[in-house]
Every structure is written in structure tokens, then in C-alpha cells.
A and B are shown apart, each in its own frame.
Chain A
Amino acid sequence: MDHVGNLLARPRLYYNIDGLGELGGSVMCLGYALLLWLLMRSPADSVWQRSSLFAFIGLMSLIHYGTKAVKTRITYPRTGFVEYRKRWHTAAIAAVLGALASAGLAVGFRRSWDISMLAPLTGLIFAAVYGDNFARAVRWKWIFAGAMVLASFAIAVLPADVLGALGSESPAHPDRAKLLGTILLSLMAYGTMLLISGGISFWLYLRHTPAPAQEGQ
């Protein structure tokens, strides 16, 4: 990439100048983990089993509107507002890849395949996405990218009975329990790391960018 190319990449990295991109990702991972845990542990006729879709929509709305509210109140007055160009092709590729991954996961889940060994691969992909979106602008965040890879490998080498115990209390489907345990633990690990790195970024942002005086432009 030439110098102008580097310059043009700057506004894209501005999205996470306040760490809200990471904090949003953290809420998503930890929220998914909580929903998954509730679905696994609650009885079949419980409210969680019947309203999981609404809970999912609520979580996504919380991330979307919560981020918007914080940006409006804190980020825009301090370092400015940016409206990004719509990248439909990137969104379409992400949607297709997401749908394929979800479909693969669903098939593996239904057929009780042992796809929990894919955890290190998922960790590598997650770390690469994190590195490209967040760590490229701030070097110390590569520590978290590395920690994500390590965490994924650590989860992959955990004994099956530990993961199974996390995944479900029912011993009827040990492979499924191991998979659920792997997903749950991975979400918690990624969510916690994003929470820490996002929290540090947000704290540094508030520290280094003073609130503006109340005046017009």
C-alpha cells in the first residue's frame, strides 16, 4: 500500500479510536455466551427457550443503539463525527461467510460431529480480524491478538470431560456437550479479552481527549 493508501485507511481505523468497537464485540461475545448458557441450562418450557430470538434481537439492538448513544455523547463532540462509505461488497462477503459458518456449525451440531477441534482455527480467524480492525492502529493490541490465539489452543487441548461438563449437565450427548462447552468457553475468552482491551482504549481515549468547551463551530 502506498502512502496515500495508508492515509485513506486512517478514517476506517478511526471507528475504534474510543475502543467502542471492541466493547461492542465484547458485549456481543459475552451476550451470546450468556444466551447459550441460559438455553443449555433452562428447562424446555422455560421463557428463555421460547424467547431466545427476541433476546438475540434485544442484544443486537443494545449493541447498536448503545454504541450510537456513547458515540453521540462522548466521541463526536471530542474528536468528530464520521459517516463511512457503504461497502456493500464487504458486507455481502461477510454475510455469506457468516451464513456458511453458521450452516456448517448447525449441521455439525445436529450430526454430533466432533468439530470442537476447529477451535484453534476459529481463534486464528478471530485474532486476524481483531488484528486487522483494531491492532493495526495500536501496537499494544497485538498482545491481545496473540492471547486470543493462545486461548483458542488452550481450549482445544482441554480434556473432553471438562468441556463436556461446561457444555451440558446431560451425559446423553457427550460430543454435543463438548462442542457447546468449546463454543461457550471460546466466547467467554474472546469477550473478556475484548472487554479488557476495549476498556483500556476507552480509558486512554477519555484521558487524552479532553471534553470540548460548549461552543459552536
Chain B
Amino acid sequence: MNQQIRSIADLDRVIHEPGRLMIAALLFAVDRADFVYLQHETDMNKGTLSSHLARLEEAGYVAVTKTYRGKVPQTLLCLTGAGRKAFEQYRRNLKKAL
């Protein structure tokens, strides 16, 4: 039991934050998505979403590509290999702990 409860401490804190967990879960299911999609699905404002994405990018979990859709700037986001592995590991650890 102790071991089970202690495994909560092993959870990846970058992903564990609810906002970032939402982003990671959404990006895990797709190849890539844009900023507007994440904003629509998570209902976060631009600033909050940007700061979470910056944290995930800093950890090497999310890759950001700036491009254009016609004349409109578009920010494409995807989970990196490390991000996918971290999310899978997080999911396994959470299941083990609860």
C-alpha cells in the first residue's frame, strides 16, 4: 500500500498540471493540431494556453511550428517522441497509483 501511495510522487509534474494534462491528452490522440483547436477544446485564454505550451516545449514534450494558412498565421503543435513516451508513462503511473 505504501509503495502504491508513494508512486504518486513519481508522476511527471510537467504533465500532471490539469491544463497541461488536457493539452497532452488532446495532442496524444492526433498527429498535430493548431492553437485555435486547443483553445476551443480546453477553453483556456490565449495567455494561459501559451504559457502551458511554453512549459511543455521547454520540457521537450511539444514541438511548435509557425506557418501560414493562406495569409493567416497558424501555430501547429504536436507531441514529440519524448512527449508521447512521457504521457504513456504518466498514464501507466496514474493507473498504478489509483
Task: Judge whether A76 and B29 touch: CB under 8 Å.
Answer: no
Interface extent on B, as a size class? 20 to 34
B91 contacts A80, C-beta separation under 8 Å: no
Residues of B contacting A82 in the complex (Cβ-Cβ under 8 angstroms): 30, 32-34, 37
Q: Which of B1-9, B55-63, B68-76 lies at the interface?
A: B68-76
What 1/0 flags go to B67-93 for Cβ under 8 Å of A? 001001111100000000000000100
Q: Is the CB–CB distance between B69 and A81 below 8 Å?
A: yes
Whether a CB of chain B sits under 8 angstroms from the CB of A49 is no
Q: Is the CB of A217 within 8 A of B31?
A: no
Complex Cα distance, B31 from A85, in Å, reads 5
Asked if A133 is an interface residue, CB under 8 A from chain B, the answer is: no
Question: Distance (Å) between the CB of B26 and the closest chain A CB?
Answer: 6
Please state if A81 and B36 are interface contacts (CB–CB under 8 Å).
yes
CB distance A11 to B73 under 8 Å?
no
Interchain CB contact under 8 A, A83 and B33: yes
Contact status B31-A83, CB under 8 Å: yes
- Chain A residues with CB under 8 A of B41: 10, 14, 80
Q: Are B91 and A84 in contact, CB atoms less than 8 angstroms apart?
A: no
A51 to B31, CA, bound (A): 38
A80 touches B69 (CB 8 A): no
Within 8 A of B (CB), among A68-118: 72, 76-86
Q: Does A12 belong to the interface (CB within 8 Å)? A: yes
**Cβ–Cβ < 8 Å partners of A72 in chain B:** 69
Cβ of A216 within 8 Å of any chain B Cβ, yes or no, is yes
What residues on B are CB-neighbors of A80 within 8 Å?
33-41
- Tell which of B26, B36, B39, B74 touches A11, judged by Cβ atoms closer than 8 Å: B26
B29 near A81: Cβ-Cβ < 8 Å = no
Rounded to whole Å, the gap between the CB of A137 and the closest CB of chain B is: 13
Q: B residues bordering A, Cβ < 8 Å?
A: 22, 25-26, 28-41, 46, 69, 72-76, 91, 94-95
Extra contacts besides A4-B91, A11-B26, A78-B40 (11): CB < 8 Å: A9-B29, A10-B26, A72-B69, A80-B41, A81-B33, A81-B34, A81-B74, A82-B32, A82-B37, A84-B30, A217-B74
Query: Would you list 28 pairs from A and B whose C-beta atoms are within 8 A, ordered by A residue?
Result: A10-B29, A10-B41, A11-B29, A11-B33, A76-B69, A77-B36, A80-B37, A80-B40, A80-B41, A81-B37, A81-B74, A81-B76, A82-B30, A82-B33, A83-B32, A83-B33, A84-B30, A84-B31, A85-B30, A85-B31, A86-B31, A212-B36, A214-B72, A216-B73, A217-B35, A217-B46, A217-B74, A217-B75
